[in-house]
Amino acid sequence: MTVTYILTVLSACLIANTQAANFNCSEPPNLGHFDVHSCCRMPEIHLGEAPAKCSAHIKTLTAQTKSQMGGMKSDGQAQDGMNTANDNQNNNSHSEVEYPAYAHICYPECIYRETGSLVENEFNMENVKKFLNKSVNKRDKDIIPQIVRSFESCLDNIKSHMAAVGIKTYAKLPMGCSPLASMMYSCVNAETFLHCPDKMWKNDEHCNVAKSFAAQCNPLPHVPLRLAKVQLELLFWRTEQRRGKVL
């Protein structure tokens, strides 16, 4: 199975006019319809049954959320008879339940857990190395050392941030998922992109400009930790609201 690099660094990649050393980070370079994912060739990683198990896990969480929301709807109708309002609210949230925001947090955590990389909400680097050496396709082995370095750099950086704000672990969502895995996933992909082995890098103008922009404007850990915290708190609040625990 091929694991696709997800690069949050260039959410608005838009025709680079020059490979200038300095960018205005609020204005990403205009790269037209260029696909940034084509710059660093994606390694083929055999994940075994992990994707199927984790997809089933997300479906279970989704079913539980639907059930809870259904109960809330019935209670609301019994209390105030606002059938139409409740139906509209249910319809508005339907797409969110079908494609839950928490999947972006819970799915990476499940994948890392199933591959042995995440043990009791802690990354085990020895297990990460063993998994990569065992599961990365032979033709892509050159990228393994960089992926390992990316894991180490990202983990050190995130832990330093946690220590700076005085926390030992990130708060979990009501469904039991921690944001640590998704933060690591995004960080490792971005860090590996920045240090992609020459053998796997497409050396053209657009790719080089994209890398230069990312290097300047999206430093480690490549995820806005303060923003991520706010988004997590908002997601937590919305989930609790649906459960009837937040007024």
Can you list the alpha helix ranges (DSSP code H) found in 17-169? Answer: 50-80, 83-98, 103-114, 125-135, 144-164
Q: How far is residue 37's CA from residue 245's CA, in Å, rounded to a whole number?
A: 41
Q: Where are the domains of the chain?
A: 8-242
Strands 122-123 and 118-119: antiparallel
Q: How far is residue 118's CA from residue 124's CA, in Å, rounded to a whole number?
A: 6
Q: How far is residue 66's CA from residue 243's CA, in Å, rounded to a whole number?
A: 10
DSSP-derived 3-state class of residue 173: coil
Which residue's structure tokens are 């994940």? 47
Question: In the chain, what is the straight-line distance between the N-terminal and C-terminal CA atoms, in Å?
Answer: 44
Q: How far is residue 244's CA from residue 247's CA, in Å, rounded to a whole number?
A: 7
Q: How far is residue 142's CA from residue 188's CA, in Å, rounded to a whole number?
A: 16
Q: Which residues of the chain have pLDDT under 50?
A: 1-20, 77-78, 80-97, 227-247
* Token duo for residue 220: 């480690």
Phi, psi of 17 (to 5 degrees): -95, -20
DSSP-derived 3-state class of residue 19: coil
Determine the pLDDT at residue 99. 55
Q: How far is residue 154's CA from residue 136's CA, in Å, rounded to a whole number?
A: 20
- Checking 194-201 for CB contacts under 8 A at 24+ apart, the result is 195/146, 195/149, 195/150, 196/39, 196/40, 196/41, 196/143, 196/146, 197/142, 197/143, 197/146, 199/142, 200/40, 200/41, 200/43, 200/140, 200/142, 200/143, 201/39, 201/40, 201/41
Determine the pLDDT at residue 228. 47
DSSP-derived 3-state class of residue 101: coil
Determine the pLDDT at residue 208. 94
Determine the pLDDT at residue 21. 52
* Token duo for residue 102: 């928490």
